[in-house]
Amino acid sequence: MNRSFQLLIAIVSVVLACGSALAANAATESKGPPPMRQIPGLTAPDQFARGCVDCHVAMPDQKMDVRLSTLMRQWQDKVDPALLERVRVFTPPEITLKGKHPKFTVAGAEVPKACMTCHSRTSRIAPPLGRMLHGLHLVGGEKNHFLSLFQGECTHCHKLDAATGNWSLKSGAEPK
């Protein structure tokens, strides 16, 4: 092959490659933006309007009972050592965890509103609720049920006031 012919083949190859890249780019751009993300309570229906008590339910199909009344009864005897270690990470060093929860009746209580009595942001007797729950619910990947079953949606626990931009914590009583 002569040099001119090799140069012509190289030029045609570059033009074809650029044309393919431009065509692929144009095809991608013509699809438009991705569909809007469905965020419960904002762009989709809110299936967990009462927060904790709407997610913490009996799930017989998964052989789990994570109702807060059930968990609280267990924790008043003894907190599972693995859970205690997970909570310890999110607990200020001046707070000593005793390995069981003080007596508390969930029945009729607005959860987590009632929890804030002891688990306030400045508590010196119990881990602050926000820090503890964010750590428990948003850490652990696929092993974490809040991430794997509920996709870690902030709006399952928090509610946005669209008029003011303020966030609040959902609360409700556990169903009987």
Q: Is the dihedral of CA 122, 67, 147, 34 positive or negative?
A: negative
Q: Residue 121: CB partners within 8 Å, gap ≥ 6? A: 128, 130
Read off the tokens for 33: 């933006």
The pLDDT score that the predictor gives to residue 23 is 56
The pLDDT score that the predictor gives to residue 50 is 94
Can you tell me the distance from the alpha carbon of 138 to that of 121, in angstroms, rounded to the nearest whole number? 18
Q: Residue 66: CB partners within 8 Å, gap ≥ 6? A: 55, 56, 57, 58, 59, 145
User: Helix (H, G, I), strand (E, B), or coil: what is residue 65?
Assistant: strand
Q: Report how far Cα 115 is from the mean position of its chain's Cα atoms.
A: 20
The residues spanned by each domain of the chain are 1-32, 52-173
The pLDDT score that the predictor gives to residue 169 is 94
Q: Report how far Cα 134 is from the mean position of its chain's Cα atoms.
A: 8
pLDDT tens by residue, the chain, 176 residues: 565 545 445 454 555 455 555 555 555 566 889 999 999 999 999 999 999 999 999 999 989 899 999 999 999 999 999 999 999 999 999 999 999 999 998 988 999 999 999 999 999 999 999 999 999 999 999 898 899 988 999 999 999 998 999 999 999 999 88
- pTM of the entire predicted model: 0.75
With contact defined as beta carbons under 8 Å apart, do 166 and 61 qualify? no
